[in-house]
Structure 1
Amino acid sequence: MEEALSHCMARIREAAAAGTPLRIRGGGSKDFYGQPGAGELLDTRGLAGIRSYEPSELVVTVGAGTALAQLEAVLAEQGQCLAFEPPHFGGGATVGGMVAAGLSGPARASTGAVRDFILGLAIVNGRGELLSFGGQVMKNVAGYDVSRLMAGALGTLGLIVEVSLKVLPRAPAEATLKFELPQAEALHRLNAWGGQPLPLNASCWVDDGGVPTLYLRLRGAHAAVEAACRALGGERQDNAVVANDWLLCRDQRLPWFEDRAGRDLWRLSLPQAAPVLDLPEAPLVEWHGGQRWVAADPAEGERLRRVVEAAGGHASLFRADAASAGAPRFQPLLPPLDRVHRELKQAFDPAGILNPGRLYPDL
């Protein structure tokens, strides 16, 4: 890993001097996400390896080029996991890409996002300098929390070298309940259940072959899960079967997603209490109402953003078809936040060579 790190630092210094854009890439599983990448390829997979792992301390430090599947397998041997269930979107996902994309899976609304589990990290900035932030304990930040700033930055602020993550024990009990409910009733129940001491972990509402259905996953102590099942009702699912369905949901391989392949797929981030919205179609709803997916024609994009903004959220063009390849992927930033983004980019990458335009076309 040291040789790979030296190579990356030298490559970035040379690119900064020449003004040559670099396209940072690990396994490429999230190439579709954000604006199309540009520049010479800088492969991070040489930055691989688990640097340290203390199961009793619930902390792992891992190279950014490490395969996400490898890390999860090591944690599973100790009965531990990444509680935010990062999506893979293919077999090549890496830990660095997981952090850079900042995407979380079905459990995000109950357990927290990627950034909430980052204790510290090391990056190479746009000057080719190795910088370290945070540490390996929770209370390690004084001032600006740069470590978590890297989550979702899509590599525009620095090349992630290694990350220290908080891990959690796997829940001792799990159950999935199925309810046939229209969207409005499902949202109402999810909001009501959210105010009760229930071991809610994940939810997914989908119009399943013409049958509107809510799937609710519970995780926690055996007694808590069993009590919740009795209180909530619904049809209890076979864990051995439904576990794979949650993985398919995480990686967008459910039939609902596959039926919409080749169309623009929008991610709607909303307050959980937001009502049913006027959308081009019934969405797939996750995160207890906080994340909703919808396919739309390219001409519907601007209206979709206005509808979501009026409900207190924002919309992202998550996967674009060929006709929308040049369309902005993320909602434009308001002036104060736009200024902060530009100043951060200038501070970390003054030559503008790291994944230029990946977040916004001119940033």
Structure 2
Amino acid sequence: MDLQDMVEAIRAAQATRTPLRIRGGGSKDFYGASLAGEVLDVGGYRGIVAYEPTELYITAKGGTPLAEVEAALAERGQMLAFEPPRLGTATVGGCVAAGLSGPRRMQAGGVRDFVLGVGLIDGWGEMLRFGGQVMKNVAGYDVSRFLAGSLGTLGVLTEVTLKVLPRPVAETTRLFECSAEESVHWLNRWGGQPVPISASFWHGGQLWVRLSGAASAVEAAVQRLGGSPTVDAEKHWESVREQTHPAFAGPILWRLALPSSAADPGLDDLRAIEWGGALRWYAGDLAAIRGAAARLGGHAVLYRAPESLRLREGCFTDLNPALLALHRRLKKAFDPQGILNPGRLYAEF
């Protein structure tokens, strides 16, 4: 499917008010509430459009597999620093639309921090372009960044320009035996020190800490923190990034974003702690989880669950009236008939 095919499909759907379900690689069909509408398969629109290693950016069509982009970057010693999960078939457009980041997010930032520009087909069937190829081109209201995490409710991402970074010169992982509470305490203490921690992961009484940067900085950090050396560290971090680690097993998985120093929410079945204590994973049908997250200044996402539970509970924390009104106005501006991924983000749109 080329651009014109997408435009015509969206215009036809708008004319008949036919809901469309935008699908690239299908790797995140589990994420979000409703999967309503006729499938608009955009995965065939793929390919790297431009890559300038010296300017630290890459531009790719929305259906380009993340694996293809990362292979091109690896040849030049560069990377997508936010480590998006590939989940087998993830595409560049789906990566931005879902807004999911991996273990290095605690050091490097999230998806939206690396989006420089996008091409978009909105619900009118109009082709739009926002942002550019370098940070200085982004001024005023940054539309390209608020599309990160919008789950396709505002348009089809046809092209994305991402900032890239060099791979670290040195990297090592240290292992610590500790409780969940101790891991949060240690990580917050280390967070106030000049220690190049690029990822952390606690599960089952073990805390894995990855150090990345200049060789001298990494060696100094090892001496400061201690811990035990690890084997197969790269394989471990890949399992965390791709969520094949046993911590992510099970039919129901909750994702809590909290202040990094937040106390134990008092919930059962804690599976893992990431991002220096700021991301915590729980399993099971936990009725009190959103209230517990709100009391600690955070929010909870029903990350993976059977469709019946996703539709009943909603996947994302309810918006207050002012934010809901703002989201509805955005939806109306970009998709007046409400045909693009209806209900995927919130039932109201």
TM beyond 0.5: yes
- The letter for the 2-side match of 1:307 is A
TM-score, scaled relative to structure 1: 0.94
* Deviation for aligned residue 1:321: 2.7
- The letter for the 2-side match of 1:69 is A
Alpha-carbon distance in structure 1 between the residues aligned to 2:175 and 2:109 = 24
Matched residue SS, 2:130: strand
Q: In the alignment, is residue 319 of structure 1 matched against residue 310 of structure 2? A: no
Alpha-carbon distance in structure 2 between the residues aligned to 1:206 and 1:46 = 38
180-189 vs 74-83, which moves further: 180-189
1:306-326 Cα shifts (integer Å, max 9, x gaps): 011000000010001355142
Alpha-carbon distance in structure 1 between the residues aligned to 2:337 and 2:120 = 16
1:248 to 239, 243, 257: 239
1:310 to 295, 300, 304: 295
1:199-218 Cα shifts (integer Å, max 9, x gaps): 110000111xxxx1111000
* Deviation for aligned residue 1:126: 0.4
* Deviation for aligned residue 1:184: 1.3
**Residue 121 of structure 2 contacts residue 128 of structure 2 at CA under 8 Å; is this kept in 1?**
yes
TM-score, scaled relative to structure 2: 0.98
Aligned length: 348
Q: Percent identity?
A: 54
2:86 to 85, 88, 110: 88
Matched residue SS, 1:307: helix
Alpha-carbon distance in structure 2 between the residues aligned to 1:230 and 1:316 = 37
Structure 1's consecutive aligned runs of 4 or more residues displaced over 3 angstroms after TM superposition are none
Equivalent in the alignment of 2:257: 269
- The letter for the 2-side match of 1:223 is S
Matched residue SS, 1:326: helix
Alignment CA distance shift 1:40-1:323 (3 Å): closer
Matched residue SS, 2:83: coil
- The letter for the 2-side match of 1:311 is L
Equivalent in the alignment of 1:142: 139
Q: 5+ residue gaps in structure 1?
A: none
Equivalent in the alignment of 1:294: 282
The alignment yields a C-alpha RMSD, in angstroms, of 1.0
Alignment CA distance shift 1:152-1:14 (3 Å): same
**Residue 199 of structure 2 contacts residue 210 of structure 2 at CA under 8 Å; is this kept in 1?**
yes
- The letter for the 1-side match of 2:309 is S
- The letter for the 2-side match of 1:199 is P
Alpha-carbon distance in structure 2 between the residues aligned to 1:189 and 1:158 = 43
Q: In the alignment, is residue 116 of structure 1 matched against residue 129 of structure 2? A: no
Alpha-carbon distance in structure 2 between the residues aligned to 1:139 and 1:192 = 35
1:237 to 230, 235, 243: 230
1:1-363 mapped onto 2 (5 Å cutoff): 4-89=2-87, 91-207=88-204, 212-238=205-231, 241-258=232-249, 261-262=250-251, 264-297=252-285, 300-301=286-287, 303-321=288-306, 324-327=309-312, 328-363=314-349
Alpha-carbon distance in structure 2 between the residues aligned to 1:342 and 1:352 = 10
1:98-120 Cα shifts (integer Å, max 9, x gaps): 00000000011110000000000
* Deviation for aligned residue 1:46: 2.2
* Deviation for aligned residue 1:16: 0.6
1:76-104 Cα shifts (integer Å, max 9, x gaps): 00000000000012x21100000000000
